[in-house]
Structure 1
Amino acid sequence: MKQLIYILAFFGSILTFAQNSQLFDDANALYNDANYTEALEKYKTVLNSGEHSAELYFNIGNAHYKLNHIAPSIYYYEKALLLKPNDKDIKNNIAFARNMTVDAIDSVPEVGISKLIKNVTNMMSFDGWAKTAIVFVMLFVMLFIAYYFSHSTSKKRLTFLTSNLSFVLAIVSLVFAFHKFKLVSNDQPAIIFAQETKIKSEPNLRSTESFVLHEGTKVQVLDTVSNWKKIKLSDGKVGWIANDDIKMLKNF
């Protein structure tokens, strides 16, 4: 019985893949014919089936951009960029889309040691740093064994120093791995979808207005309380926004 279920699931996935591929091709054809609304409907049908890819998000962003939908175009370009952070086409198109936004927000540059640590941490992913730590631990073990069984004084000195160095580098790699994990966990980007929204000083309608934001602006979500999210701008400003006015980027 289980084998039959697995076989049916397998053929079902093949059928879904084939249907999505056809829908994607049809959507591309409609897009090339400047039928952007119809293309968008087919792209979203593929998306609603559970398909997630940089190419799909990129094309949805393109269709929204052609229709002058500021927030959705930036939102889907950003999602594509999450999956392919080094793609030049995505970077170029998102730059054009950002030019349509109203809010001009300066970024506070990081300086000193914090900038250096962040740059080094971002050189590899969490998995990359973890694997590097494992390699150094294995190297430490092998060098320590070589030190233990070595009879030459010079070899003992060399293996002792290099084994200790490997151990230190393993610890450093592990620290960077956890720091990378923390950076990724704390990175909760979102896009403003309301055409204009008032950012409050506290998570309630009675609180004072801190500032106003417009659609397409990218923010970082720091906290959630009931129907409100605490956000932070790239210039350091902090405030509260209603859940309905914002859309998280990492929700796939």
Structure 2
Amino acid sequence: MKKLFYLLFFFSVVVNAQESALFEEGNTAYSEGNYEQAIERYNSILEDGKTDVAVHYNLANAHYKLNHIAPSIYHYEKALQLAPNDEDVRNNIVFAQNMAIDAIEETPQSQFSGWMESGYALFSVSGWGWTAVTFVVLFAAFFLVYYFSSKPVLKRAFFIAAVFFFVLAIGSVFMGYSRQSFEESQEYAIIFSEEAEVLSEPNVRGAEVFVLHEGTKVQVVEDFQQWSKIELANGNQGWILQDTFRRL
């Protein structure tokens, strides 16, 4: 058993070393203006199943330098999924989106929806979970002090503090659950085809509703065979072939 542990440990060290080497090679190629080679190195890391903000971000930058609209937007979006509050990613994705042809105005959100999404973005699902655990620990600590305290003033103060942290713990659990439900219900994709027809029904006989171009972000509503029903930020819907886009 111990030999197996050492073997697995050695293997993980080797893999991490290889990924670090590929990442550094990609960075070196990027700094020298060899963007194609940088892309190759970064993609090699992703092909091994590694998901990392820096890899997606640098890969997006390299594609942007080569005016690859869809891949640059795609990898900026992947980086945002991993780090929603990263200012560098948020700033750079705007430049990439400016290369896209389709200018789609978003349907205005209600104020409540905006507040909820801002709340979701504060932490990941696991982050909300750890926040809830922290508040539970604080609740337990203040409750114990309240329980064993003999002075009425202190008991009242610690009881109020315990209730406060208990409410925050419940709120954190709710936010974490809500964010998870929100993420599971929101499946997005980036159009990779230079042009993609969106039809009224999932077959080639459907009437053309509109045409999308590479780099446009769509929400995947449902799938049917090789077709998917998509929705734009402005609410427009239609059916599109699945080989014209790449899911985030």
Q: TM-score range by the shorter chain?
A: 0.7 to 0.9
Check if 1:66 corresponds to 2:80: no
Per the TM alignment, residue 157 of structure 1 is displaced from its structure 2 partner at its CA by 9.1
Per the TM alignment, residue 98 of structure 1 is displaced from its structure 2 partner at its CA by 0.9
The amino acid across from 1:27 in the alignment is G
Is the partner of 2:202 in helix, strand or coil?
Answer: coil
Q: How does 1:140-219 map to 2 (within 5 A)?
A: 173-219=172-218
Unmatched 5+ residue regions in structure 1?
none
Higher Cα radius of gyration: 1
CA distance in 1, matches of 2:151, 2:20: 66
Q: Which moved more, 1:61-70 or 1:116-125?
A: 116-125
Unmatched 5+ residue regions in structure 2?
none
Per the TM alignment, residue 238 of structure 1 is displaced from its structure 2 partner at its CA by 1.3
Q: Which moved more, 1:127-136 or 1:19-28?
A: 127-136
Equivalent residue number for residue 18 of structure 1: 17
Q: How does 1:57-96 map to 2 (within 5 A)?
A: 57-96=56-95
Residues 168-207 of structure 1 deviation map (CA, whole Å, 9 limit, x = unaligned): 6665554444322221211212110010000112222211
Residues 44-68 of structure 1 deviation map (CA, whole Å, 9 limit, x = unaligned): 2222223221111111112211221
Q: In the superposition, relative to structure 1, how do residues 53 and 206 fare at CA in structure 2: closer, same or farther (>3 Å)?
A: same
Q: Which moved more, 1:196-205 or 1:173-182?
A: 173-182
Please say if residues 85 and 121 of structure 2, whose CA atoms lie closer than 8 Å, have aligned partners that are also in contact: no
CA distance in 1, matches of 2:141, 2:17: 51
Query: What CA RMSD, in Å, does the superposition of the two structures yield over aligned residues?
Result: 3.0
Is the partner of 2:108 in helix, strand or coil?
Answer: coil
CA distance in 1, matches of 2:168, 2:22: 50
Is the partner of 1:76 in helix, strand or coil?
Answer: helix
Check if 1:220 corresponds to 2:219: yes
Q: Structure 1 vs Structure 2: percent identity of aligned residues? A: 44
CA distance in 2, matches of 1:39, 1:165: 51
Is the partner of 1:240 in helix, strand or coil?
Answer: strand
Residues 79-118 of structure 1 deviation map (CA, whole Å, 9 limit, x = unaligned): 1222222222222221111111000000111124444444
Check if 1:240 corresponds to 2:239: yes
Equivalent residue number for residue 101 of structure 1: 100
Equivalent residue number for residue 41 of structure 2: 42
CA distance in 1, matches of 2:26, 2:127: 37
Q: In the superposition, relative to structure 1, how do residues 80 and 147 fare at CA in structure 2: closer, same or farther (>3 Å)?
A: closer
CA distance in 2, matches of 1:59, 1:103: 25
Per the TM alignment, residue 12 of structure 1 is displaced from its structure 2 partner at its CA by 1.9
Check if 1:52 corresponds to 2:54: no
CA distance in 2, matches of 1:191, 1:43: 20
Q: In the superposition, relative to structure 1, how do residues 15 and 157 fare at CA in structure 2: closer, same or farther (>3 Å)?
A: closer
- Count of aligned residue pairs for this structure pair: 248
Per the TM alignment, residue 20 of structure 1 is displaced from its structure 2 partner at its CA by 2.2
CA distance in 2, matches of 1:28, 1:145: 53
Please say if residues 107 and 234 of structure 2, whose CA atoms lie closer than 8 Å, have aligned partners that are also in contact: yes
Equivalent residue number for residue 26 of structure 2: 27
Is the partner of 1:197 in helix, strand or coil?
Answer: strand
Per the TM alignment, residue 133 of structure 1 is displaced from its structure 2 partner at its CA by 5.7
Is the partner of 1:190 in helix, strand or coil?
Answer: strand
